[in-house]
Structure 1
Amino acid sequence: MWAVISQIPVPDVVARAGGMLSYLPVPSPLVAALALTVLFGLVWLLHWSITPSSNQLNLYYNQSNPLTLCIPKRPPRRVETTSSIEHAATTRHAPLPNVAKPPSTTQTLPKRLAARCPSLTDKAKAIFTPSRWLFNGHLQTAAVTKLAFFKGYDVDYHRELVSLPDGGAVALDWYPSFEEQPDSSIPIVLILHGLTGGSHEFYVRALVQWMTAAPYHYRAVVMNNRGCGFSELLTPQMYSAGYTDDLRFVLNRLHRQFPDTSMLAAGFSLGANILVKYLGEEEGRCFLQGAVAVGNPFNMLKASEILSEGLLGSLIYTKVMRNNLVRAFLRHKQVFNGSGLDVDLVAKSRTLYEFDDLMTRRMFGFETVRDYYISASSSPWVRRVRVPLLCLNSLDDPICSFQSIPFQDCINNPYVVLATTAHGGHLGWFETGADDNQIKPWWTKPVGEFIAALEGTQVVTSGAQAR
């Protein structure tokens, strides 16, 4: 199903009405209180009159040339119960005895998903029903920020600082730590956060808890970009939407440390763009067994243009992102002294475009912001991805427009599965929880199922698939 989101200009009558407000008398406190009471009453009635409709998830993939996977027949892992975090008891892997290499079988990717991913493929279960409280994409998006410190999603990370070749550093936040669970055979899922985010973000902690609890029992590691996640910036270089060298360095390092451990990855928003671009650049050289990109902007230029043209995009979203970037920049401003950047001018940038013009494109050597956006886009790299990849996007995402999704490239590549929902906002997908007053993320179900379905598998390539 395709959805069309129209751009609605602000009528002139709104501007005229705004000018007339200055001539109205200031209401008394009693009148103001009554007006607010009526307003909240109308909102309450609107809320209960709206029953969110269920969204059937739409799946796009290559049906004419399906990918074939080699799947080992392994005995189930033995687990032992240990300490738990607040929301639920978790279980951890016990080291397995030495056993002979098990036999394997083959299965196409669509059949594998049909067998292991009901939240993606089962029509009765591949459904997202938005919470009654969050009935549109803007509310779903706002909830992601408001739930930054949502109770019940606490994670006690163990931080590891990784030095980079140029003198910079990234912070890796592990859960569970190797002190808590020393078994190095536990599958690892690497998580990449969004713009100016970190391991503290709600969506990151939600996935960490989901993948480390039953039935998966994985080990999660969050890669905090340079200067993110409350880490120090050591060199006058931050990160960008298209800079993949840090991710490449970290993954190569993890592979050297754990050569026999299953490794998968998940990226959100800007992190999703970086991950997909990296996968395309590496092509068949990547050792990840599977990857997930959630809320990927894909085409940075088109997504930026659409966002800036929209009313809420230009008035709210781009300004919030600009404010977050400037705040992150000022937190490390002493590092940029003598770097050639005008620190004061960057701090005074009024829009996201201005920040990228004064800061990002100069830092990474681009002539214009347009050149930077084009180069940073992951959409041209989708066709080169050679790792099973799930792309999950919402068609009402107010930040990463559905118009930027490369539908045909996703369908043509047998390694890529694209899943879309009509609603969900940007990284939201909140559904009703245990009762009507609670909400919980829905997206963890299809993401967790996909990651687990690919764990331990290998791709059986053919000439057509290798192109």
Structure 2
Amino acid sequence: MPIVPSRFRASGLFKDPHFSTIYSAKIRRVKGITQTRERIELPDGDYIDIDWTLAATPQEGNIKKVAVLLHGLEGDAQRPYILGTAKLLSNNGYDVAAINFRGCSGSQNRLYRSYHSGDTGDIRFVVNTLVTRAYSHINLYGVSLGGNAVLKYLGEQDHIPSQVTCAACIGVPADLKASLEQLIKGENIVYRTSFLVHLKAKYRKKMQQFPDKMNKEDYKKINSLKRFDDLYTAPAHGFEDALDYYARASSFDYLDKITVPTLILNAKNDSFLHGDCYPIAQAKNSNIIHLEMPDHGGHVGFYMKGEFYYNELRTLEFFQKNME
């Protein structure tokens, strides 16, 4: 305990993992939300852009709440799963800081490095910055890659401020190697091809910035996600190779060190997840990790009738419960 029984029930086509995943990523639209961009300069000379949505209702008394939202691989703060969550939390009294990982905000970041699944330094810097802005409650929300980064940050226990209250992570590849093994299956060719197209495009742009570190010969060798991680992610971020990256950046080994209430919502039919991406034993032995595994939902495709998705409503519920 706590393995959390799920109340989510998919219907019709949304029981199909691919339909729910693709519809939610490509067709869903979130209207009526305003974002204001702030550029944060980082200690290493780079920057990240944060898209803010302020609370729609005044925050009361000494409680000043902010939710930090982190997107998935090659996403940004304008993805429907970020906008839907931002709108719901804003409507319920939260300021929302939606982080764009380095190079994901529409402009190229300055350094050779960019971001990766286990990159917690920028999360730590943003959280510490928010502490200086007098937020009494800082809640974290990560989707896919962003969820893995949140869990690893919490499990590193590296001076996590007391203002960090709780976290919710959706569709989390807690074991990166297991997730890759799932993605290379034939049924997932659409997803891995889409990721690879975006990653190769970024490699080309980086190559123009850093011709001494990147070249056309290596670019031509990038024919898989693992190959991209061997040729760019690993050398750019201090790993020996892709397998070293997957081992050291996965959040799975950090889960038992997390000390703030954390919800992990992973659908059983998520095409991106496999094996230890479902940390059942860790949750059973924890009073902190709340693992919820609906039968359906695909990869962050928890569609419900109405304006908001189940993962967004469930996140708000979890945040409110742990504010009491």
- Whether TM-score is above 0.5 comes out as yes
Identity %: 27
| Change beyond 3 A, Cα 1:402–1:140 | farther
Partner of 2:322: 454
In structure 1, how many angstroms separate the alpha carbons of the residues matched to 2:22 and 2:217? 30
For the 8 Å contact 1:193–1:199, the answer to whether it is kept is yes
> Relative to 1, partners in 2 of residues 1:346 and 1:155: Cα closer, same or farther, differing over 3 Å?
farther
Kept after mapping to 2: 8 A contact 1:241/1:271: yes
Change (3 A) 1:132 1:332: same
- Given that 1:284 and 1:386 are in contact with CA atoms closer than 8 Å, whether structure 2 keeps it comes out as no
Give yes or no for the alignment of 1:244 onto 2:120: yes
- Among residues 428, 439, 445, which one is paired with 2:313 in the alignment? 445
Q: Distance in 2 between matches of 1:182 and 1:257?
A: 14
Answering whether residue 230 of structure 2 is matched by residue 357 of structure 1, we say yes
Aligned mates of 1:141, 1:276 — CA distance in 2? 22
List alignment gaps of at least 5 residues for structure 2.
Answer: none
- TM-superposed deviation, 1:155: 2.5
Does structure 1 retain, via aligned residues, the 8 Å contact 2:174–2:276? no
State the Cα distance separating 1:232 from its structure 2 match.
3.2
- Residue 176 of structure 1: which of 54, 57, 67 is its match? 54
Question: Whose RCO is larger (CA < 8 A, sep 6+)?
Answer: 2
1:333–1:342 distance in 2 versus 1, CA, 3 Å: closer
- Equivalenced residue count is 322
Counterpart of 2:109 in structure 1 is 233
Q: Please state whether the residue corresponding to 1:220 is helix, strand or coil.
A: strand
Taking structure 1 as reference, are residues 198 and 140 closer, same or farther at Cα in structure 2, changes over 3 Å only? same
Q: Alpha-carbon deviation of 1:454?
A: 1.5
Q: Which blocks of at least 5 consecutive residues in structure 1 are unaligned?
A: 1-59, 63-119, 434-438, 458-467
Select which of 304, 322, 326 maps to 2:196: 322
Partners of 1:318 and 1:352 within 8 A in 2 = yes
Is the CA contact (8 Å cut-off) linking 1:293 and 1:390 kept in structure 2? yes
Opposite residue 19 of structure 2, the aligned amino acid is L
Are the equivalent residues in 2 in contact too, given 1:395–1:402 (CA < 8 A)? no
TM (norm. structure 1) is 0.64
Distance between the aligned counterparts of 2:311 and 2:193, measured in 1?
27
- Per the alignment, residue 189 of structure 1 pairs with 67
Change (3 A) 1:407 1:177: closer
In the alignment, does 2:277 pair up with 1:404?
A: yes
Q: Which residue does the alignment assign to 1:274?
A: 149
Which protein is bigger by CA-based radius of gyration?
1
State the shift of 1:134 in Å: 2.2
* Per-residue deviation, 1:380: 0.1
Residue 258 of structure 2: aligned partner? 385
Aligned partners of 1:440 and 1:266: how far apart in 2?
16
* 1:24 match: none
CA RMSD of aligned residues (A): 2.4
CA positional deviation for 1:286: 4.0
| CA distance in 2: counterparts of 1:440 and 1:156, whole angstroms | 16
Q: Is 1:144–2:24 an aligned residue pair?
A: yes
User: Partners in 1 of 2:308 and 2:221 — Cα distance?
Assistant: 38
Query: Are the counterparts in 2 of residues 283 and 386 from structure 1 also a CA contact under 8 Å?
Result: no
Write the distance in 1 (CA, Å) between the matches of 2:59 and 2:317: 25
Whether the 8 Å contact between 2:147 and 2:169 is mirrored in structure 1 is yes
Relative distance call for 1:205 and 1:300 in structure 2 (3 A) is: same
